[in-house]
Structure 1
Amino acid sequence: MDQIRVDQQNLPKKERYGIGELLKTIDLKRPTYYDERKRIINKNDKYADVKVVIKEIAEKGKWRGSYTYGYRRIMPLLEKAGYHMAEATLRRLMNELGVQPAMYNRRKNNHYSSYKGTVGKVADNLLNQTFDATSPFTVLHTDVSQVRLGDSTWAYMSVILDQATKEVLAASVSQNPNKLLIMDTLSQLEDNLPNNFNPIIHSDQGWHYQLEYYREKIDSLGLIQSMSRKGNCLDNAPMESFFHLFKVESQPEIKKCKSISQFTQFFNKYVNWYNNDRISNKTKNMSPVDYRTHILAA
């Protein structure tokens, strides 16, 4: 139909067929014709408006040029903006826009294990995979992980995380997973933990956490020790989640770090961004610091 009209453009106006004549000839109703034209015109623009919003939200979640917001975090923000759609549709649109977060292969990148058997005292598992803390500074998690830098050396990260707010309360980096790394992390926690709080601190059965120096230090801070079952990483899921997110969101930048000092600076910046800017649907789409402030003010 439209092609016929195009072909007639060079003809004198008197010799052209009108739309009514053409529709009558092909037995097509006028409303059907215009509906079809509208559908064709708008076919590629059906999600044009929401794509703009998705892109804007995804851009806000960027960390060092990498997209970090998956569909679960974008969905509630879209709904808040007045857009509602199925998860499958959102994932498809994110894929079309190229704003899907990167994936991280845990096995390929050599997951760190500090387990060396029973070398000290193994504490009871007080949590039993119950991650329902709602008040800050009541349940903490800690662990050590590693990444390979651009110069092929290893960097080790020791972190303490608040279960309720997801806030990183202490973070230290070293070339070696030794006593100094663990003690520096605990010293930071001592500075950041308010008085009159005696939280549980949960770890795996890594050798660091079994030894007397660690147990004495957390006891002096009024912390209650808890440990995962042997070989069960899900018992310390909040820490696994944090390190996974860091590696997913930072892998390209990690490879650019050519020294431990360069990586330390980068990791500290990530922790600051994570605590103050990175939103999560688990914290009501607030950053960990904002969520902690929100809870304590309630």
Structure 2
Amino acid sequence: MEQNREKHSIALMCRVYSVTRDGYNSWHRRGISARRTEDSELFEMISMIFKRHNGCYGSPKIMQELRKIGIGVGQKRVARIMREHGLTATKARIYISRPGLYKHVNRVPCRIADIELRAPNQLWVGDVTYLKMQDGSWQYLSVIMDRFSRRIISWSLSERRDAQLTVSALQRAVRNRGHHEELIFHSDRGVEYMANDYRKKLGHYGISQSMNRAKSMNDNAFMESFFQQFKTERIKRVVLESVEQLRGIITEYMRYYNYERSHSSIGYLSPHEFESRISC
């Protein structure tokens, strides 16, 4: 009886789709096409890469990751497979802040307009962002990036947004990378970067200070972009219950960002890989 029902269902389907019974039987004997089999295998690899990077890699970066392990595949095919399986990368939205301008800031010029970056430790950029805890309190994160390689070279976390926070990040950056001749540090026009303690510390290390031009917040767009990526890829996914938990998240992300996360602007390499190739 079951066999008769199956035959009836097949016959009905053939009539609906205008397919002959012989044609259906021929298709059924062939089984799944080689192309579909390859797509299925590719999806397994794509899914693994997508999950490893917390759903933040789109088809261009996944294609590059596949090519790194010897799988030659085009971006359109990766995009199609992702679309068919509902894999959509999380995208960061960049919000440009508009802090008040201070007259005394005009004494600090923007020194980065014509700089040509050829190696690490020519230009460091820094910024501060805020992170809201579950209990309603705030933690402030100061980060310094090497603009050449996009590598995060130091960070500092505090419940207060002041010069002590940014000085701490600067001291760690110098411990990690040293201080170099003609090194420039660039930031926005925040008071924590204009504080005497911070400027004295820059002078002590022989680092030239640079700040955004008035009404030109894009001068520090790389740091804005980094913070949005960090919040999108890690912070928005968790409830921040303690400072210890937050420090663990930051530590893990900085390692991931420097050693694993690829960047299209440096040839789909991680900052560590990019610096290693330059030094060879």
SS in 1 for 2:239: coil
* 1:9-37 residue CA offsets vs partner (Å, 9 max, x unmatched): xxxxxxxxxxxxxxxxx998x8x878865
Q: Which residue of 1 aligns with 2:256?
A: 273
What is the CA-CA distance between 1:145 and the residue it aligns to?
1.0
Q: Which residue of 2 aligns with 1:7?
A: 7
* 1:232-259 residue CA offsets vs partner (Å, 9 max, x unmatched): 3321121112111101101344x42223
Q: Which residue of 1 aligns with 2:276?
A: 293
Distance in 2 between the 1:239 and 1:268 partners? 17
Aligned: 1:192 with 2:176: yes
Q: For 1:40-51, what aligned pairs fall within 5 Å after superposition? A: 41-42=32-33, 45=37, 47-51=39-43
Alpha carbons 2:139, 2:158 under 8 Å: kept: yes
**What is the aligned counterpart of 1:54 among 46, 50, 57?**
46
Q: Which residue of 2 aligns with 1:78?
A: 66
Which sections of structure 1, spanning at least 5 residues, go unmatched? Answer: 9-25
Q: For 1:210-229, what aligned pairs fall within 5 Å after superposition? A: 210-229=194-213
Q: CA RMSD in A?
A: 3.5
Label 1:149 to 1:101 Cα distance change in 2 as closer, same or farther (>3 A): farther
Label 1:113 to 1:250 Cα distance change in 2 as closer, same or farther (>3 A): farther
Deviates more, 1:171-180 or 1:149-158: 149-158
Q: For 1:107-256, what aligned pairs fall within 5 Å after superposition? A: 115-128=100-113, 133-253=117-237, 255-256=238-239
Deviates more, 1:35-44 or 1:196-205: 35-44
**What is the aligned counterpart of 2:88 among 100, 116, 130?**
100
Distance in 1 between the 2:101 and 2:60 partners? 37
> Normalising by the residue count of structure 2, what TM-score does the alignment of the two structures yield?
0.79
Alpha carbons 2:63, 2:75 under 8 Å: kept: no
Higher Cα Rg: structure 1 or 2?
A: 1
What is the CA-CA distance between 1:171 and the residue it aligns to?
0.3
What is the CA-CA distance between 1:222 and the residue it aligns to?
1.8
Label 1:84 to 1:277 Cα distance change in 2 as closer, same or farther (>3 A): closer
What is the CA-CA distance between 1:86 and the residue it aligns to?
4.2
* 1:77-131 residue CA offsets vs partner (Å, 9 max, x unmatched): 23443333344x4334224445433345566xxx766545335454222223x68
Distance in 1 between the 2:116 and 2:83 partners? 33
Task: State the number of aligned residues.
Answer: 267
Which sections of structure 2, spanning at least 5 residues, go unmatched? Answer: 9-17
* 1:37-68 residue CA offsets vs partner (Å, 9 max, x unmatched): 5888449656212212212322332xxxx323
Alpha carbons 2:108, 2:211 under 8 Å: kept: yes
Aligned amino acid, residue 267 of structure 1? I
Distance in 2 between the 1:131 and 1:263 partners? 36
Aligned amino acid, residue 59 of structure 2? Y
Distance in 2 between the 1:72 and 1:53 partners? 14
Label 1:52 to 1:139 Cα distance change in 2 as closer, same or farther (>3 A): same
Percent identity between the two aligned chains: 25
